[in-house]
Amino acid sequence: MALSAKWRDTLTLIAVFALLLGGLFVYTGNWPPAVIVESGSMMHADDEVSYGRFGTIDPGDLVLVKGVDSLDDITTRADGGRDRYGAPGDVIVYYRANDRSDTPIIHRAVAYVEVEGGEYFVRWADGVPCEGGATAIERDGRAWCRYGTEGILIPSLGVRGSLSARADGQGYRPTSNGILTKGDNPSTNTAIDQITMPGANRPIPLEWIEGKGRAELPWLGLIKLSLAGKPNEPSPPASWVKIGSAYAPKDLWVMLGVTLFVLVGIPLLYDGYKAIDQRRRAHAPAPPAPSHLAATPESPTSIRLSWDAIGVAEPPVHFRVYRDDGLAGSTSDTSFLDNGLEPGREYAYHVTAADAAGEDGPRSLIVRARTPLADAEPAPDAETPDGAGAGAEA
């Protein structure tokens, strides 16, 4: 049994969503394949971003999360390399203490560290001097910085042993290998998570990591945050705007509104315009029937028809010519040459004027004409009205 158009449309929509989500799953290797950013800990300074903050991670952004197989799959800020979301190094998503019931953290990987025999080794960018008194060495064919028992001190990346400004000379002493992480926000995230965030006080091991950020769909996550019932940011700046339960900078809300208008508002307005236009056309009077239809044989295989459009209030899109009640063709002129006919045969014609919606108005009077025989003299003009008015013969 054939499916109705409604069911076909529904199944097509389901197939499109399945294909989209399936493609995201194949690419990221994670389910769900994306996370919604809640806090402003990854925001950059206002003078580093444009209106709408596209290209950096901000509240309400939807970020794809691609799975990783090893810590070597993650490039840190200390490694250098290409920018991700406005700065060098990958942005990773991890769970503090691997607690999957907790809200995941999305922060930048700033350094990879290894602990060996009371010394600390940090993977480093080639050709860049080490910081904090470390010794530059080469291991496994790449650059590293070696720190002694005083710990790791990298002021440019916020890696130190304490939040206290008086202890800036104190290095961070990890107890295990892993990734050091930190938010990009220069105001709220001045040091690595390992000394500022409960539950993340050790380098992040592979098993805590959900994946690394790849691409973003900005602003749309603000819809979910505004309906969440709890603030996404406990201490937002005074300049942020609250809608529902979500706080975010004003320009993000403006861009969300623009996006929703483009994605939803414009299609709805267009559908409304089409509905109004169809209603207007449905109530518009049909174009009157063409008058003074004449049929003149021109050869054994062709007949020329002509008519008068006087009385048609607005020019129709086209006229339709019917031969023996079958459509012979259409034209925007008031004449039509019907070719490919049989010699010596009589044909009946009528013409209608079609409106802008493509609907036929009333038909003209029917006229009949006979093509001459191929070896005979051309027949005289023939015009045979049939019936007393438009539509007299079906």
- Looking at residue 185, its amino acid is N
Using one digit for the tens of pLDDT, what is the confidence trace for 75-89? 999 998 889 999 999
50 and 145 assigned to the same domain:
yes
pLDDT, residue 7, reads: 76
What total number of domains does the chain contain? Answer: 2
What are the φ/ψ torsions at residue 82 (nearest 5 degrees)? -70, 155
Could you tell me what percentage of the chain is helix, strand and coil, using 3-state DSSP and rounding each to the nearest 5? Answer: 20, 30, 45
Q: Please give the structure tokens belonging to residue 367.
A: 């006229």
pLDDT, residue 266, reads: 94
Q: How many CB atoms lie within 10 A of CB 367?
A: 23
**Do the domain assignments include residue 228?**
no
pLDDT, residue 129, reads: 95
Q: What percentage of the chain has pLDDT greater than the value 70? A: 86
DSSP 290-306: PEEEEEEEEETTEEEEE
pLDDT, residue 21, reads: 64
Distance CA 229, CA 249 (A): 19
79 and 175 assigned to the same domain:
yes
Distance CA 375, CA 165 (A): 113
Across 293-305, average pLDDT: 95
Confidence at 389, pLDDT banded by 50, 70, 90: very low
Using one digit for the tens of pLDDT, what is the confidence trace for 201-210? 899 999 999 9
Bridge partners (DSSP) of residue 145 are: 122, 136
- The residue range of the domain holding 350 is 291-370
**Do the domain assignments include residue 299?**
yes
Here the CATH number for the domain that contains residue 332 is 2.60.40.10
**Do the domain assignments include residue 252?**
no
**Do the domain assignments include residue 139?**
yes
**Do the domain assignments include residue 385?**
no
**Do the domain assignments include residue 181?**
yes
pLDDT, residue 33, reads: 77
53 and 176 assigned to the same domain:
yes
Question: Which residue, of 172, 198, 217, is where some domain finishes?
Answer: 217
**Do the domain assignments include residue 382?**
no
pLDDT for 29 beyond 70: no
pLDDT, residue 394, reads: 26
pLDDT, residue 166, reads: 60
88 and 186 assigned to the same domain:
yes
Distance CA 309, CA 289 (A): 8
Out of 18-27, 90-99, 159-168, which region has the weakest mean confidence (pLDDT)?
18-27
Distance CA 156, CA 182 (A): 12
pLDDT for 106 beyond 90: yes
Using one digit for the tens of pLDDT, what is the confidence trace for 269-287? 999 998 887 787 667 677 8
Distance CA 40, CA 183 (A): 9
pLDDT for 228 beyond 70: yes
pLDDT, residue 285, reads: 74
Using one digit for the tens of pLDDT, what is the confidence trace for 140-197? 889 999 999 999 999 999 999 888 756 567 899 999 999 999 999 999 999 999 999 8
pLDDT, residue 391, reads: 32
pLDDT, residue 5, reads: 66
295 and 212 assigned to the same domain:
no
190 and 73 assigned to the same domain:
yes
- Short-list 352, 353, 347, 354, CA closest to 363: 352
As a whole number, the mean pLDDT across the chain is: 87
Are 33 and 212 contacting, i.e. CB atoms less than 8 angstroms apart?
A: no
204 and 117 assigned to the same domain:
yes
- Short-list 110, 158, 154, 112, CA closest to 132: 154
Q: How do beta strands 119-123 and 105-116 pair?
A: antiparallel
- Short-list 185, 186, 154, CA closest to 172: 154
**Do the domain assignments include residue 274?**
no
What are the φ/ψ torsions at residue 174 (nearest 5 degrees)? -70, 160
Across 42-51, average pLDDT: 91
Q: What percentage of the chain has pLDDT greater than the value 90? A: 66
212 and 312 assigned to the same domain:
no
* The residue count for the chain: 394
pLDDT, residue 356, reads: 73
